[in-house]
Amino acid sequence: MSSGDGQQSQALTKPAFSEVQASAIVDSVFGLKVSKIQPLPSYDDQNFHVCISRTKDTTDGPNECVLKINNTESSKTPDLIEVQSHIMMFLRAAGFPTASVYRTKGDHITSLTSIDSGSEIKSYLVRLLTYLPGRPIAEIPISSQLLYEIGRLAAKLDKTLEHSEGQHAGQIGRKPEWRQGVHPGSQCSNQNRKREIVEQVIQLFKDEVMTKLSHFRECINHGDLNDHNILIESSKSACGDAVYQVSGILDFDDMSYGYYVFEVAITIMYMMIESKTPIQVGGHVLAGFESVIPLTPVERGALFLLVCSRFCQSLVLAAYSCHLYPENEEYLMITAKTGWRHLQQMFDMGQKAVEEIWFETAKSYEPGISM
């Protein structure tokens, strides 16, 4: 690991607040009394599910909320965190099931909290968000219709964000480089096959994607529509079958300037993770996305490699983060449980065979074509 990596890992050290400390933050910063608090899974920040005590003097405000404590590196960019919060509220006003932000006693969106770590004083940005109902789609068998709806949701989200772009120009971040720079040999498994695939995908990405970026349509990406960041609730149809609806969209921390095709590729990759028929997933998600934003031929031609690239990125970074934070292994390695197998299957089948499945499935959704 290079010295630069060492500095980055130190800067990104995950917050380690106790439940007592987190409860004290909710009280002192937001003026709310905690009746129950428990940690939630998270990547490099720290989240708590908080239940609020109600008294005759505190009848307003949330009953349940999420206390989000950003890592020290993210906490250095409060303007960016505020933009993320404003965009969540913008999307909620536009009809999307995103969280509301609970303001501090001083009527701010965020607050900087400092704590003595023993050797130094560390500062963390904290926010209080409303708790969204539902459960992650990772916990249910996902149907083709729900995959279609999630693809459609991803496109509608990006299209709606077009209207917020002027308000936050220059604050969200530059166009992503698909998080390049993590060397596959040092962080991922020593198995030669995995390393060979990752190295080939990285080279193909440089040759076949980086050279075509000017042909992709730009947008603001959510950037992390994975199967744990989309919540659903079920209801009964007239026939008595379970009907699922999206009830929550979580985690806007990876939002950035990017491209429409990046969003659909990220969504396809994450929807493949828990699927028993992962190769078929892409066509249903693509059909939903293209019902709102049809891709151009150049964008479609890059989709296979972009999905492979996101697999490699997620798997390598997860292994690296697991090395840094072994206590968080269960959460960090969710993708790896099936991800390596899905990536290898895609790579072995090849682009032409996978695209044929995706594009034929997507075509079946066109008017006049029965599924």
Tell me the pLDDT of the chain (371 aa) as tens digits: 233 333 344 445 789 899 999 999 999 999 999 999 999 988 789 999 999 987 666 566 668 999 999 999 889 989 989 999 999 999 999 999 999 999 999 999 999 998 877 778 889 999 999 999 999 998 988 899 999 999 999 999 999 998 775 555 455 555 444 443 333 333 434 468 888 999 999 999 999 999 999 999 999 999 999 989 999 998 776 676 778 889 999 999 889 899 999 999 999 999 999 899 999 999 999 999 999 999 999 999 999 999 999 999 989 887 777 777 666 666 666 777 788 999 999 999 999 999 999 999 999 998 755 44
CB within 8 Å of 339: residues ≥ 6 apart: 273, 311, 314, 315
- Report pTM: 0.83
46 backbone dihedrals φ, ψ, rounded to 5°: -135, 130
Sheet holding 135-136, edge to edge: 135-136, 230-236, 242-249
* Distance from C-alpha of 281 to C-alpha of 83, rounded to nearest angstrom: 33
Q: What local confidence, expressed as pLDDT, does residue 327 receive? A: 67
Q: What's residue 229's pLDDT? A: 93
**So what's the pLDDT on residue 26?**
96
Nearest to 225 by CA among 285, 279, 266: 266
Distance CA 13, CA 20 (A): 20
pLDDT of amino acid 331: 66
Residue with tokens 């720290």: 46
**Domains of the chain from N-terminus onward:** 19-130 (3.30.200.20), 135-364 (3.90.1200.10)
**Residue whose structure tokens are 């130094």:** 120
How far apart are the C-alpha atoms of 361 and 364, rounded to whole Å? 5
Q: Report the catalytic residues.
A: 224
